[in-house]
Amino acid sequence: MPITEAFQQVTIRARTHGSRIRRSAPMMKSRPDPFHLHELTPARSARLIVSAFLLALLTGTGLLMLPVATVAPGGTDLLTAAFTATSSLCVTGLITVDTATYWTPFGQVVIIFLIQVGGLGVMTFTTTLGILLARKFGLSTRLLANAETKSRGGARQVVARIVLTTAVIESSAAAVLFLRFLLHYHYPPSRALAHGAFHAVSAFNNAGFALYSLNVVDFAGDPVVLLTLSTCVILGGLGFPVLYELRRHICVPRRWSMNTRLVLLATPVLLVSGTVFLLVLEWNNPATLGPQPAAGKLLNAFFQSTISRTAGFNSIDISHMHPVSWLGMDILMFIGGGPAGTAGGLKVTTFGVLFFIALTEIRGGAAVPVLGKQLSRSVQREAITVVVLATGAVIGGTMLIMLTDTTLGLDRVLYEAVSAFSTVGLSTGITPTLAPFAQCVLIALMFMGRLGPVTVSAAIAFGRRPPTYELPKERPLIG
């Protein structure tokens, strides 16, 4: 082999959990960058994603204001259109008007289109962001990172995989729901197809919009519908990196990345604990689970536990749940699902990192071990920063809403604020009755919740600079 070709290819062998992984990468020639990722700066990347979402939001608002979008003549007002467009684009599910009766088929198509754009947009951005972060490091670090995350190909290939994965899952769920609506509920074929496709897209993107005035309460006794929606919500909430890694190494757990391990550990724990929590508190509640048989109680408790992370469907009356149930669901909503997916919240990886930091501190350790690997100190700072900023946003939003109406209880307002920021969409029923200013606060919370943690994390990650000096260390008293 000529020496020039030898310099163009380098093979690095990385030991990951006892396995040898070969990676070849060019040394002299740089890979093509069709997305111009090398030109992105922290400020530019933040402006890019915010500007794209604002443009989509303005477009959606304008379309929903058209007279053809609503049943009532003359079209809807600006606030209703903006609230619905924001809730759709941020895949939240909070509504101020009845989706089934207020909007025409054209308006419903606009809503589901915004949901698809919002879900795909965040998945694509966060996954591409990971590629960009890897490319900012040295060659050896980059190749080791690729071996660890099992990622191959550039941004274009990754985006194509995201679109293909989304299409397969949504079309499969739509087919199941179509057959159920057609054969069991005897819908006309066109209506069965429309309802199946709408709810499949809404579920996978963790949006929670439904074409029924009572959401999916009428299907509380139907395990096919509820479990299909739950499966879509869970798959969308796992995140694309986890889905892709499972597709390649589902039978080889030792090759899973730390991200996949955290998500797959936390998800079943939260699902089971949430189900048991709701069963205990709502078992005898005559307005929720009380009248249902034991199997129905288990089904609906599991469904609401799943939906709390983070889609806005409801099969029972949320407004009549016990206040302690609301508080428990606040926690589930705030935690959310997996990163680089359609779920909202602060992500299970963020809280998993905080849990292992606390566990290490309690044990008196120095480095933070996480499921057989050591956690980077920079990730610890990022997780703490995101949680602090998110907590401040939720508390501030709750205060602003309560200032507009002193008759609203803290439990209901907090539930609404957490639901908006975590882009869940569950409601105790007060959203349509809120003052215009309070609804604007919810719009801001939805927008911040969908983009805030991602943008903050990106800015922190991109903003790393080697320090030129060190200040003297000092330890304040903690606790």
The pLDDT tens digits of the residues spanning 7-37 come to: 334 333 333 444 443 444 444 344 444 444 4
pTM of the model: 0.83
Q: Does residue 28 contact residue 6 with C-beta atoms inside 8 Å?
A: no
Mean local confidence (pLDDT), 170-176? 97
Give the three-class secondary structure for 14. Answer: strand
**What is the spatial distance between Cα 254 and Cα 373, in angstroms, rounded to a whole number?**
11
State the average pLDDT over residues 392-410. 92
Specify the DSSP element, H or E, that contains 374.
strand 373-374
Domain ranges within the chain, ordered by starting residue? 31-304+319-462
Helix residue ranges per DSSP H, 405-435: 410-421
- pLDDT over 50 (residue 38): no
- The confidence band for 240, taking pLDDT boundaries of 50, 70 and 90, is confident
CA atoms within 13 A on the CB side of 449: 37
User: Mean pLDDT over all residues of the chain?
Assistant: 83
Q: Which residue has the tokens 């705030």?
A: 334
Residue 460 pLDDT class (50, 70, 90 cuts): low
User: Per-residue pLDDT averaged across 419-428, rounded?
Assistant: 94
Q: Using alpha carbons, list the distances in angstroms from residue 462 to 128, 377, 451.
A: 14, 15, 16
Looking at residue 41, its pLDDT comes to 53
User: CB of 455 within 8 A of CB of 112?
Assistant: no
- Residues 354-369 have pLDDT tens digits of 999 999 989 888 888 8
Per-residue pLDDT, averaged over 175-203, amounts to: 96
Give pLDDT, residue 121.
Answer: 76
pLDDT at 133 (0 to 100): 53
9-16 and 19-26 beta bridge pairing: antiparallel
Does the pLDDT at position 145 exceed 70? no
Q: What is the pLDDT of residues 294-329, one digit of tens each?
A: 999 999 999 999 999 888 899 999 999 999 999 999
pLDDT score for 96: 94
DSSP assignment string, 300-363: HHHHHHHHTTT----SS-GGGS-HHHHHHHHHHHHH-S-TTSS--SS-HHHHHHHHHHHHHHHH
Question: How far is residue 225 CA from its own chain's centroid?
Answer: 22
Residue 151 in this model has a pLDDT that exceeds 60 = no
Whether the CB-CB separation of 90 and 449 falls below 8 Å is answered with: yes
